[in-house]
Amino acid sequence: MDKVKVETSGKNYTQKVTARSHRWLADEPEDLGGADKGPNPYEQLLGGLGSCTVTTVQMYAERKDWPLKKVEAVLEHKKVQAPGEGAADKISEIKIDLKLAGDLDDSQRKRLHKIANRCPVKRTLEGEIKIKADRGDAAVDSQ
């Protein structure tokens, strides 16, 4: 089970994020009232998806002993019109531009692009997700 703790830092919208022994900041850009001290929530989501995609490709190439030297994923998130006639809502669209460096042949490149689509985080985001939010009124330590 993965677990992350997020708490306010007391200034603007800057949040302290902790995962195991790792700590970082999340924030909103200044034009949205933040202090821009860290990536915003969507940037963190893209970072997680991109990290998983790159790692999945790396692991596969290593198992196959293919000459992959570097993987780069550039991700973009935007809201687009939902498909269908009269659809009023917008949906999220994430574009992943995957670049592979190394002396790979065309079939290896094609296979690695296919493997990139199997990253566990991508499969989670595309599948059914249940989010259970505990809305209890437990006191929060204000220190």
Q: For 33-51, what is the mean pLDDT?
A: 96
pLDDT grade, residue 87 (50/70/90)? low
What pLDDT is attached to residue 86?
65
Say if CB 56 and CB 118 are below 8 A apart.
yes
The CATH-assigned architecture of domain 40-126 is 2-Layer Sandwich (3.30)
What's the pLDDT score for residue 81? Answer: 83
Token code pair at residue 81? 């019109």
Considering only CA atoms, which of 55, 72, 71 is closest in space to residue 63?
A: 55
Exposure pattern of 103-137 as b/e (b: 16+ CB <10 Å)? ebeeebeebbeebbeebebbeeeeeeeeeeeeeee
pLDDT digit string, tens, across residues 92-116? 999 999 999 999 999 999 999 999 9
Q: How many CB atoms lie within 10 A of CB 26?
A: 19
At 122-138, the pLDDT tens digits run 999 999 999 998 876 66
As given in the structure block, the two tokens for residue 65 are 């002993």
Does 88 score more than 80 pLDDT? Answer: no
| Radius of gyration of the chain measured on its C-alpha atoms | 19
Which of 25, 46, 20, 22 minimizes the C-alpha distance to 35?
Answer: 25
